[in-house]
Amino acid sequence: MTIGQFWQNFLKNTGRSEQTTYLECFHFDLNERSANELLALVLSGKKRATASSVYAFAPGEAPKPGNLSIVTDWDGNPHCVIETKAVQVIPFCEMTFEICSREGEDECLETWQAGHRRFFTEDGKEMGYEFTEDMPVLFEDFEVIYQI
């Protein structure tokens, strides 16, 4: 199913206006295994949040509460629509496990930090920013509002 077909099905099945738009269509992480594992966590309800570098967004393009996004697998096949519920910006070094545990990926703050240092370092190389311990992290809470 194409992204367009998926979006039209979403609009029809949820009774939304044809003018409804989505912020982005994306997969999680930078490799196939992890992207598909994180998608499975989202679909199961365990992953209810995500963390991104503030620097990965152009000015004014960061998610805001109420935004809708399509989440795909690594190959670009759409699986669900999420709605952003809350957004906060937290320096990486001030992240707490109480907050990052909503991502559903880690059992402690130390593994979250290690995994996200790796991600932000790799992402920064692609997006043109450099990871630092005090880098602002955009932490987004979301809810799955549609899935196939």
Average pLDDT score over residue span 105-129: 95
Say which DSSP state 88 is in.
E
| First-to-last C-alpha distance (Å) of the chain | 11
How would residue 126 be classed by pLDDT, with cut points 50, 70 and 90?
A: very high
pLDDT reported for residue 113: 97
The predicted-structure confidence for 67-111, as pLDDT tens digits, reads as follows 999 999 999 999 999 999 999 999 999 999 999 999 999 999 999
pLDDT above 90 covers a percentage of the chain that reads 97
The per-residue pLDDT for 3 is: 97
Cα-based distances in Å from 112 to 18, 33, 79, 96, 124: 39, 17, 25, 10, 17
CA pair distance 73, 30, nearest whole angstrom: 11
pLDDT of residue 108: 96
| Of residues 61, 59, 72, 87, the one with CA closest to residue 27 | 72
- Tell me the two tokens of residue 31: 């490799």
Query: pLDDT tens, 55-71?
Result: 999 888 999 999 999 99
pLDDT band (50, 70, 90) for residue 137: very high
Q: pLDDT tens across 39-52, in order?
A: 999 999 999 999 99
pTM: 0.93
User: For residue 105, what pLDDT is reported?
Assistant: 92
- Domains of the chain (ranges plus CATH)? 3-13+20-147 (3.10.400.10)
63 neighbors 26 (Cβ within 8 angstroms): no
